[in-house]
Amino acid sequence: MFTKTQTANCKLLMPFRKIINDPVYGFITIDDELINQLISHPYYQRLRRINQMAMANVVYPGAVHSRLHHSLGAYHLMGLALTELSRKGVDITFEEQQAAKIAILLHDIGHGPFSHALEHTLIEGMHHEEISLLIIKELNTQFNGQLELALTIFTNKYHKKFLHQLISGQLDVDRMDYLTRDSFFTGVIEGSIGYDRIIKMMVVHNGELMVEEKGIYSIEKFLVSRRLMYWQVYLHKTVLCAEQMLKQLIKRAKFIKAHSSTALNKFINEPINTVSLQEFCSIDDYDVLAAIKEWCTHPDKVLAYLCNGVLNRQLLKVKYQSNTFTANTIEEQINKVSQNFNLPLEDAQWLVFTGESSTSTYNFTNEHIYILFKNGDVKDISEVDNALINENLTGKVTKYYICYPR
């Protein structure tokens, strides 16, 4: 039997360590007390209540994982990447490793309800990364400046550029996790990537994150998988329609000043510049869903129709095509809605909307994926001999859509 003194001494000697079960990677280890405190913070725990893939579950029922799942997964991959780079002789101090892990852990903390689907609808003109930065600064204050280095890395102001590239770049751990995780939960195997091999092939050369020559095919697979996931999942026409209906009902609620008994009410009925950071961090998917349930019986026909459609998966018809829809086509659909629903034209146009979806396999305008060859040469992935990722795949692909009642 140990005495109380011996037990206390054992506790002091044992390093901090927590294990989190993860369906994708098996186990995620939290071995830093500061990081554990950040995970336990209410601002971070809110991510449990924000769906990673917004409305994708209307097509892929398994896609109900949260932003918290994703950020923990990205944290795990960051740990693997830092360990691999350190093993290859890259100088990364304990403080830098801790800061990089904190930065990736908190990179999505600024997401609001339903992630990207409502990003510019609830709070217009503000990207989630800007809100993430505000929240990290607030957490830095609460934790007495312990997040200062993480902030510097997050904002790309640190002299070791590769640390920021691991967080935000063409080949960051954020993308590696969301492709792996979203592929797993949707069951879309085309999105599966070899994240472990990609990390093993990572190297730092002249301060930049690069990939060894042996990893070319893994990178090409990564880029093609990302393209397939966008068109097969993220921009799937039914998913797109559901998310556009969600946006439209929030816009309509703001337009008619619809009241909600949830915390969402302030975001609907008051100027956005009166909303505090604390109030933003109090809303999540549940507030939006509760408001939608309330509005299903709202006297406004347009709002009630959209809310019932989103809640019960009675979605609008959506068509994709390679060119824009003509004004005559749009006007024709608005007139039909006006007649069928007995609505004035100005109300009917709320149920007919158009837009565009676009993505590119690889964008080297601002960022690159560099390949380091054995002889010391460095080439962009699109410039290697017999490259799969060539000029034909680097261009943006755009499709145009129209949504209207069936």
Can you spell out the DSSP letters for 169-199? STT-HHHHHHHHHHHHHHT-GGG---HHHHH
Q: Is a pLDDT exceeding 90 seen at residue 7?
A: no
Do 69 and 149 share a domain, yes or no? yes
Confidence of residue 360 (pLDDT cuts 50, 70, 90): confident
Of the pLDDT bands very low, low, confident and very high (cuts 50, 70, 90), residue 339 is: very high
Q: Are residues 211 and 333 in the same domain?
A: no
Residue 279 has pLDDT above 90, yes or no: yes
Q: Given a cut of 70, is residue 386 above it in pLDDT? A: no
Q: Can you count the helices (H) and strands (E) in the chain? A: 19, 9
Which is it for strands 396-404 and 26-30: parallel, antiparallel or unpaired?
Answer: unpaired
Residues 28 and 110 in one domain: yes
Do 199 and 246 share a domain, yes or no?
A: no
Q: What is the arrangement of strands in the sheet containing 317-321, beginning at the earlier edge strand?
A: 317-321, 396-404, 353-360
Are 339 and 191 in the same domain?
Answer: no
pLDDT exceeds cutoff 70 at 8: no
Residue 38 lies in a domain: yes
Instruction: Flag whether 67 is in a domain.
Output: yes
DSSP category for residue 14: S
- Residue with tokens 């991959």, as numbered in its chain: 77
The single-letter DSSP state of residue 238 is H
Distances (CA, A) of 321 to 21, 397, 399: 43, 12, 6
Clarify whether residues 214 and 260 are in a common domain: no
Report the pLDDT value the prediction gives residue 401, as an integer from 0 to 100.
96
Question: pLDDT per residue over 215-264, tens digit each?
Answer: 999 998 999 999 999 999 999 999 999 999 999 999 999 999 999 998 99
Mean pLDDT for the stretch of residues 70-90: 98
pLDDT value for 363: 73
pLDDT at 150 over 80: yes
Round to whole Å and give the CA distance between 318 and 235: 12
| Greater pLDDT, 14 or 254 | 254
DSSP state of 92: -
Query: Domain with 219 in it: what CATH number?
Result: 1.10.3210.10
pLDDT of residue 15: 82
Q: What is the DSSP letter of 356?
A: E
Whose CA is closest to 402, among 339, 323, 295, 312?
Answer: 323
Query: Burial level of 171, CB count in 10 A (0-12/13-18/19+)?
Result: buried
Q: What is the DSSP letter of 66?
A: B
Task: Give residue 85's pLDDT.
Answer: 98
Q: Which of the listed ranges 133-137, 218-222, 359-363 does the model predict with the highest average pLDDT?
A: 133-137
Judge whether residue 69 has pLDDT over 90.
Answer: yes
Q: What is the tally of structural domains in the chain?
A: 2
Question: Chain-wide mean pLDDT for the chain?
Answer: 92
Domain boundary among 174, 208, 235: 235
pLDDT above 90 as % of the chain: 83
Contact 212, 203 (CB under 8 A): yes
**24 lies in some domain:** yes
For residue 296, give its domain range: 237-358
Q: Label residue 291 exposed, middle or buried (CB < 10 Å: 0-12, 13-18, 19+).
A: buried
Asked if 231 and 106 sit in the same domain, the reply is yes
The predicted model gives 326-330 an average pLDDT of 95
Of 235, 269, 292, the last residue of a domain is 235
- Is the domain of 241 the same as that of 230? no
The CATH number of residue 338's host domain is 1.20.1250.30
Task: Report if residue 396 sits inside a domain.
Answer: no
- What pLDDT does residue 6 have? 53
Kindly state the DSSP code that residue 111 receives in the 8-state scheme: -
Helix axes 173-186, 67-87, angle to 10 degrees: 130
Question: What is the mean pLDDT of the segment spanning 63-92?
Answer: 97
Q: What is the pLDDT of residue 394?
A: 65
Question: Which region among 4-18, 58-72, 181-195, 391-405 has the lowest average model confidence (pLDDT)?
Answer: 4-18
Give the per-residue pLDDT at 362. 78
Q: Tell me, yes or no, whether 246 and 231 share the same domain.
A: no
- Report whether pLDDT(94) > 80: yes
Would you say residue 140 lies in a domain? yes
Contacts of 337 by beta carbon, 8 Å cutoff, 6+ apart:
343, 348, 351, 352, 404, 405
Check if the beta carbon of residue 234 is closer than 8 Å to that of residue 185. no
Residue 329 is assigned to a structural domain of this protein: yes
